[in-house]
Chain A
Amino acid sequence: MELLKNKTALITGASRGIGRSTALLFAEEGANVIFTDLRENENSQSLVEELTAKGVKAMFIAANAADYDETLTVVEKVEKEFGRLDVLVNNAGITRDNLLLRMSPADWDAVIQTNLRSVYNYCKAFAPMMMKQRSGSIVNISSIVAINGNAGQCNYAAAKAGIIGFTRSLAKELGSRNIRCNAVAPGFIETPMTQQLSEEARKSWMAQIPLRRGGTDVDVARVSLFLASDLAGYVTGHVLCCDGGLVL
């Protein structure tokens, strides 16, 4: 359908997982894709090749999403190479799980910096460009744990809940400039990490999901595609759960 034809999209933390699937799906839909990750590696190199093979322009930028100055460098490169940014997906994130009583201040800070501060960095840095364009769509990747909570993830849940408040506030700030800002809240997504869970733990998760299966990276990417595209042209400040009904 080419829902993103002639659009330029940037996805943070996209060398693998949900970010990678999002980059590939956006390219299939005609978007030129810029993606970032902490450093260049085999994954980022192969993703550039896969994206380019889809007939779009692709660029990888090594940048720490938690560092505002590095974000400004990303803005400069995007401006120079593409001249505009239509879609921003804030996907970069890490986990440092532990029960609160065992959670170090460093683990708290690392998760808040990478998962929440990065959203501030990229939205603030790219908002002027989108304001001048009088258009833009921002998709922030939150999580179902922001709504439900999850033992062992106080830091992650706090950061992801922060993203929801941020998203709704920014939607109000930038709506008059035709810039939409939404969030996606993925639930139990099948990843190398969740595949390592014991059979018992998996069964326990599945029992709570009305659709009786874990989600995939592509499930989440499709939701981001909807919010990024003009199909969601009248949707802003929304948190769309992609969780098979887990939050119900």
Chain B
Amino acid sequence: MEKSFEQLSTEIVELVAEHLGYTNAINLDDRLDGVLCADSIDIVELIMYIEGIYDVELPEHETGQIKTVRDIVNHVYNAINQK
């Protein structure tokens, strides 16, 4: 079933918060390595986790450019729609 960008955003915000251990709300434009305090290995692991949830594989050259939660949503959204 196709998901809207908004639906996907809501889900991924929750997944990111859960995976990084935040109980308070996080925002789409939060930087992973900034306000969310994720180090590079956290980010790689987070992306692997989200890839697994949505059964997509993001190209490595794209994952290196992911800085914010919104970036993850964008890449996953595109990957789902290219399936």
What is the minimal beta-carbon distance from A123 to any residue of chain B, in angstroms? Answer: 14
Which residues from A are CB-within-8-Å of B40? 173
Report if B48 contacts A (CB, 8 A). yes
Chain A: residues with Cβ within 8 Å of the partner, total of 6
Q: Which of A128, A173, A174, A176 contacts B48 (CB 8 A)?
A: A128
Bound together, the chains give a CA A115 to CA B61 distance in angstroms of 26
A-B contact count (CB 8 A): 10
Which residues from A are CB-within-8-Å of B41? 173-174, 176-177
Report if A209 contacts B (CB, 8 A). no
Report if A103 contacts B (CB, 8 A). no
Interface of B is mostly: helix
What is the minimal beta-carbon distance from A148 to any residue of chain B, in angstroms? Answer: 34
Bound together, the chains give a CA A131 to CA B41 distance in angstroms of 10
Q: Mark B24-63, 1 if CB is under 8 A from A, else 0.
A: 0000000000000001110001001000000000000000
Bound together, the chains give a CA A131 to CA B45 distance in angstroms of 8
Chain B: residues with Cβ within 8 Å of the partner, total of 5
Bound together, the chains give a CA A174 to CA B39 distance in angstroms of 12
A118-134 residues with Cβ-Cβ distance < 8 A to B are 128, 131
Which residues from A are CB-within-8-Å of B45? 131, 177
What is the minimal beta-carbon distance from B41 to any residue of chain A, in angstroms? Answer: 6
- Most chain A beta-carbon neighbours within 10 Å: one of B40, B41, B45: B41
What is the minimal beta-carbon distance from B44 to any residue of chain A, in angstroms? Answer: 8
Which residues from B are CB-within-8-Å of A131? 45, 48
Bound together, the chains give a CA A131 to CA B52 distance in angstroms of 14
Which residues from B are CB-within-8-Å of A173? 40-41
Bound together, the chains give a CA A177 to CA B45 distance in angstroms of 10
Which residues from B are CB-within-8-Å of A174? 41
Bound together, the chains give a CA A174 to CA B41 distance in angstroms of 8
Residue of A nearest to B48 (CB): A128
Bound together, the chains give a CA A47 to CA B39 distance in angstroms of 43
What is the minimal beta-carbon distance from A69 to any residue of chain B, in angstroms? Answer: 14
What is the minimal beta-carbon distance from A128 to any residue of chain B, in angstroms? Answer: 6
Residue of B nearest to A174 (CB): B41
What is the minimal beta-carbon distance from B40 to any residue of chain A, in angstroms? Answer: 8
What is the minimal beta-carbon distance from A204 to any residue of chain B, in angstroms? Answer: 47
Bound together, the chains give a CA A173 to CA B45 distance in angstroms of 12
Residue of B nearest to A127 (CB): B44
Residues of B within 8 A of A (CB): 39-41, 45, 48
The list of the 10 closest CB pairs from A to B, nearest first, reads A128-B48, A131-B45, A173-B41, A176-B41, A177-B41, A174-B41, A131-B48, A176-B39, A177-B45, A173-B40
Residues of A within 8 A of B (CB): 128, 131, 173-174, 176-177
- Give 7 new A-B contacts, CB below 8 A, not counting A174-B41, A176-B39, A177-B45: A128-B48, A131-B45, A131-B48, A173-B40, A173-B41, A176-B41, A177-B41
